Amino acid sequence: MSNPITSTLSEESQKIAGDALQASLVDLIDLSLIAKQAHWNVVGSQFRSVHLQLDELVTDSRTFVDEVAERAAAIGVSPDGRAETVAKTASTVGFDEGWQKDGRVVGAIVANLAAVVKALRARIDATESADPVTQDLLIAITARLEQLHWMWQAQQA
């Protein structure tokens, strides 16, 4: 099917913004999956607080996934959130299988948040001239993920 959605962006700007949005989409999908996997498998003396904090991360990530996918669609870029695409292209660092002690879960979440934020910051730079609207969305998402990164790191202090 030809592209039924047109964009007011130039082809070049649409490509830059679309690439940034697609990469952000897969990162955020994987972040939500990692947080859910951790949520199901965390054990330890801090179980309850970590378990609940993971729910917060899942909720935020899923909200961001929808915002990013809808922004991509709005500029005429078909978002691809298929499992295969996420597995091949996400810049997250992953999460081990099986039961995980609360301290290891916190460390894994900190590492994954750092990886996603680092990638988002590069995309913020890339979209500055191409599409300030996309850049603004990525800035807002990054601000929240950096806040969560701080909160998760505080548990390691």
At 28-66, the pLDDT tens digits run 999 999 999 999 999 999 999 999 999 999 999 999 999
CA distance 7 to 17: 11
Mean pLDDT of 102-121: 98
**What is the pLDDT at residue 1?**
65
Summarize pLDDT for 57-107 with one digit per residue, the tens. Answer: 999 999 999 999 999 999 999 999 999 999 999 999 999 999 999 999 999
Three-class secondary structure of residue 75 per DSSP: coil
Distance CA 90, CA 92 (A): 6
At 68 the pLDDT is 98
Question: What are the Cα distances from residue 4, in Å, to 8, 9, 46, 67, 130?
Answer: 14, 15, 50, 20, 22
Q: What pLDDT, on the 0 to 100 scale, is given for residue 2? A: 75
* pLDDT reported for residue 3: 82
> Among the residues of the chain, which ranges form H helices?
11-41, 47-74, 83-89, 102-127, 132-154
Mean pLDDT of 138-157: 97
User: What pLDDT score was predicted for residue 40?
Assistant: 98
The reported pLDDT for the residue numbered 80 is 98
Q: pLDDT for 124-136, tens place per residue?
A: 999 999 999 999 9
